[in-house]
C-alpha cells in the first residue's frame, strides 16, 4: 500500500549515490508518511530525498504527516535527513525549494512558501505555540505564515507564527523572526531586524 500511495502521487524519491564515494555502505533515509485525510488533499509533484556524506552515520528519518484539516501541496522540494513536515492545516511549497538536515515545518493555521526557498540545517518554521496558551484570559491562536520567493533562511533560524517574509530576503543564522520582514533585505538577530535593505542576489 505504501508504494502504491507514492505511485499514485507520482512522487519521485531520489538518494544521492553516496556508494560511489564509500563502497559497500548502501545507506538510505527512512521515510515515514502518515496521513488521515483524503488523497485529494495531498498533491506532490516532485519530492526528492537527498543524502550527503556528513549524514552517512546519522540518518535520522524524514517524517511527513497530513492529518486533521491538513492539505499538502508541494511543487518541487528536496529534503535531507531529520526533516519533519506536519500539516494539520494547509502547507503549500513552491518550486525549487530545499530543506537541509533537521528542518521542521509545522502548520496549525497554514503555511505558504513561494519558489526558491533555501533553508540551512535545523531551521524551524512553526505557526503555533504547540500547546494551549492564554494571555489575560484570552486564548492565543495559531497564525498563518507566508514566505515569499527567493528566500534564504540561515542555519538554526526560527520563523514564528503570524510572520510574512517578503521576496528576495536573507535571514541570518540563529535569528528568531517574530515580526514581518519586508522584501529585498537582510534580517538577523533575536528578534530579527533588518540590517541591510537593497538589492539582494544569492545563489546556491
Q: Which three cell numbers, joined as nine digits, stand for 40?
A: 485529494
Higher model confidence: residue 7 or residue 65? 65
Per-residue pLDDT, 163: 97
For residues 144-150, average pLDDT: 97
pLDDT tens-digit profile of 151-166? 999 999 999 999 999 9
* Collapsed DSSP state (helix, strand, coil) of residue 198: coil
Least confident of 48-52, 104-108, 124-128, 191-195: 48-52
* Average pLDDT score over residue span 15-26: 39
* CB neighbour list of residue 129: distance below 8 Å, 6 or more residues apart: 140, 142, 161
User: Tens digits of per-residue pLDDT, 62-98?
Assistant: 899 999 999 999 999 999 889 999 999 999 999 999 9
| Average pLDDT along the chain | 85
pLDDT of residue 14: 43
**By percentage, how much of the chain surpasses pLDDT 70?**
83
Domains and CATH numbers, the chain: 2-197 (2.160.10.10)
Q: Model confidence over 105-131: pLDDT tens digits?
A: 999 999 999 999 999 999 999 999 877
Residue 57 grid cell: 552515520
Cross-strand bridge partners of residue 31: 62
74-83, 146-155, 186-195: least confident range: 74-83
CA distance 33 to 1: 12
Length of the chain: 204
Omega within 30 of 0 (cis) for the link into 81: no
Q: What is the predicted pLDDT for the residue at 198?
A: 94
Amino acid at each position: 500500500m505504501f508504494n502504491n500511495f507514492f505511485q499514485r502521487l507520482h512522487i519521485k524519491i531520489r538518494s544521492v549515490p553516496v556508494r560511489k564515494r564509500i563502497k559497500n555502505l548502501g545507506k538510505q533515509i527512512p521515510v515515514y508518511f502518515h496521513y488521515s485525510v483524503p488523497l485529494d488533499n495531498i498533491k506532490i509533484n516532485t519530492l526528492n530525498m537527498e543524502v550527503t556524506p556528513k549524514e552517512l552515520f546519522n540518518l535520522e528519518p524524514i517524517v511527513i504527516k497530513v492529518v486533521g484539516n491538513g492539505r499538502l501541496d508541494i511543487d518541487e522540494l528536496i529534503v535531507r535527513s531529520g526533516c519533519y513536515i506536519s500539516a494539520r492545516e494547509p502547507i503549500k511549497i513552491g518550486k525549487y525549494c530545499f530543506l537541509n538536515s533537521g528542518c521542521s515545518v509545522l502548520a496549525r493555521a497554514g503555511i505558504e512558501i513561494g519558489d526558491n526557498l533555501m533553508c540551512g540545517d535545523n531551521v524551524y518554521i512553526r505557526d503555533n505555540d504547540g500547546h494551549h496558551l492564554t494571555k489575560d484570559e484570552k486564548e492565543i491562536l495559531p497564525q498563518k505564515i507566508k514566505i515569499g520567493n527567493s528566500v534564504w533562511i540561515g542555519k538554526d533560524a526560527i520563523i514564528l507564527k503570524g510572520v510574512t517574509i517578503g521576496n528576495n530576503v536573507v535571514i541570518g543564522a540563529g535569528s528568531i523572526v517574530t515580526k514581518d520582514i519586508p522584501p529585498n533585505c537582510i534580517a538577523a538577530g533575536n528578534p530579527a531586524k533588518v540590517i541591510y535593505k537593497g538589492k539582494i542576489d544569492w545563489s546556491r
